[in-house]
Amino acid sequence: MARISKEPIKRLDGKASLLPRHAIVVRVASFTFRFGTVKQLQECISYYKQKTRPSSRVAARTLAADLGEDWRELRGWDVERWFERLPMYLLEEPKRQEVLKALSKTLAPVEAKKL
């Protein structure tokens, strides 16, 4: 059973903010996903829709287009992307389907601005 909620994002400096920001929180399969934007949620859904994982290798042209020509200085080889940091048990088929169902269930109220 997934738990879906919205939590306020607190500023680290302790000052009040005129624009309150919230994070979308989805607790499913003993793991908590936190999303700052709807785009992040959509990217995670598209990642979990894939049964087989794509290669984690990124072409140098893609990095150069995203980070600029000096991408070698900006990105170390030990940097992981968000989906490489997820626990492996979430990629097992029953858990993957459970996570996908919970994230898809979260997307509808978020896009309708009801959450």
pLDDT in tens, 41-71: 999 999 999 988 777 777 777 777 877 777 7
Q: Decide: 77 and 60 in contact? Cβ < 8 Å.
A: no
For 42, the domain range is 3-111
- Write down the pTM of the prediction: 0.78
Residue 72's alpha-carbon distances to 61, 69, 85, in angstroms, are: 12, 8, 22
Max avg pLDDT among 20-24, 60-64, 76-80, 104-108:
104-108
- The confidence score (pLDDT) of residue 73 equals 73
Number of structural domains (the chain) is 1
